[in-house]
Amino acid sequence: MDQLSLFPEENIDPRPPITVNWNLWHGCTKASTGCMHCYMYRRDESIGKDPTVVTKTENFDLPVRVLKSGKNKGRYKVPCGSYIDTCFSSDFFHKDADDWRSEAWDMIRERSDCTFFMITKRPERIAEHLPRDWGPAFSHVTIAVTCENQAMADKRLPVYLSLPLLHHSVMIEPMLTAVDLRPYIEKYRKADGSPLIERVSVGGESGNEARICDFAWVEAVQKQCLNNGISFYYHQTGARLLKDGKLYNIPRKLQHAQAHKAGLDIR
């Protein structure tokens, strides 16, 4: 058989992959001090809405919607290869979403041609709420955990790093104290001896009431990653950054760019 004609041309999705925000449900309850200034709370309260009520959104079925007309009719609206960020005004593992999660897993399984990313502050709920066939069929899914300070790292990482996840990713955002990941990097290893933690992302807090992030804390975590071959991403500075004894108030629009300019990222 001619290898080049193995699959028909029309199977190729002509549209470029994109990054998609998939907000399955909205509303949440605060899990720890990192939630103190949750932007979703601020926004909902400003319009008189109760942020603690968790409701399914109108975009719940977004990944499996198909185009009804045009030259790409019948294809998924979200193109093949897209990067899909989930649940940015809730927590995928929130208990009030338990009734809808299995349907969400069905959609995620169906779209194995895309990459899904979700962040949780509730790692203790993950094991009980993975799909029954969790395994290679979900290698396109990363479930990250957030640890905003050393206390939450010490509480959440032993739980999180013991889970049968295919990728382990740690967010330290908003970073509120120094965080020493070394005990967890050293203890939790893959079969080949490399750290179970594949990626660490760090960021400061935004908003008018932002708590201070010390740049020395960021540098220390970056060094822990550098020394252990772990990918590192300095996501944003936050609004109040302490560096070399000086406090900087950084406007929202510059927080990502300033972090990038620090040159700490490790791919």
Return the DSSP state at 91. Answer: -
- Distance, CA of 220 to CA of 264 (rounded, Å): 11
Residue 40 makes contact with ligand SF4 by CB under 6 A:
yes
Residue 38 makes contact with ligand SF4 by CB under 6 A:
yes
φ/ψ of 244, rounded to 5, equals 50, 40
Q: Are 137 and 17 in contact (CB under 8 A)?
A: no
Choose, by CB under 6 A, the member of 31, 64, 242, 262 that binds ligand SF4: 31
Residue ranges in the chain assigned as alpha helix (H) = 39-46, 98-110, 150-160, 182-187, 215-226, 252-261
- Distance, CA of 189 to CA of 153 (rounded, Å): 17
Q: With CB under 6 A as the contact rule, which of the stretches 23-31, 70-78, 166-174, 222-230 interacts with ligand SF4?
A: 23-31
Residue 212 makes contact with ligand SF4 by CB under 6 A:
no
Identity at 176, one-letter amino acid code = L
Mask: binding to ligand SF4, 170-189, rule CB under 6 A, as x and -? --------------------
Choose, by CB under 6 A, the member of 18, 30, 55, 95 that binds ligand SF4: 30
Residue 26 makes contact with ligand SF4 by CB under 6 A:
no
Q: State the minimum distance, in angstroms, from the CB of residue 35 to ligand SF4.
A: 3
Residues of this chain that interact with ligand SF4 (CB under 6 A) are 28, 30-31, 35, 38, 40, 90-91, 121
